[in-house]
Amino acid sequence: AKLATERREADHAHAARLWNAALAELGPGWTISGSVDQRYHGNLNIRREGVDATRLVSDLRDIAFSLGSACASGSGRPSHVLRAIGLSDREARASIRLGFGRYTGEEELVAAVRRIDAAARAQQGLAA
């Protein structure tokens, strides 16, 4: 708790830099779930129309990201949180979640996001 208190401002600034770096790499076609402003920027939930999120996770097993939201992990059901913010079942099932913070480096995040975007585009038959 002491470390969290001492590092609060630096951690939030770092998460904001990572958030901005991730968004800059995603490119067009991705939709952010939830508010862009009223949120903690260490959690990014996104979706892309026509992408099979389960296949995306399977294709990129060496990248730590997940389906939907933490509250629905492993259940096989669409997240009730994503449904509560207005997503359809299809949209909720197409969502992926990236979490990052104090120990996440910008270079590793950018590289991961590039690979996620390329794999999603490949699923859609688009040039990566």
Mean pLDDT of 81-96: 88
Q: How much is the pLDDT for 76?
A: 65
Residue 98's pLDDT band, with cuts at 50, 70 and 90, is very high
Let me know how many helices (H) and strands (E) the chain has, helices first: 5, 4
Mean pLDDT of 99-126: 93
The predicted-structure confidence for 46-86, as pLDDT tens digits, reads as follows 999 889 999 999 999 999 999 865 655 555 677 788 888 88
Q: Which of 71, 85, 126, 128 is catalytic?
A: 71
Residue 102 tokens read as: 């104090």
Q: pTM, whole model, 2 decimals?
A: 0.86
Active-site residue 55, yes or no?
Answer: no
Q: How much is the pLDDT for 77?
A: 72
Q: How much is the pLDDT for 103?
A: 94
| C-alpha to C-alpha distance for 49 and 33, rounded to whole angstroms | 13
Question: Exposed, middle or buried by CB within 10 Å (0-12, 13-18, 19+), for 58?
Answer: exposed
The predicted-structure confidence for 7-46, as pLDDT tens digits, reads as follows 999 999 999 999 999 999 998 899 999 889 898 999 999 9
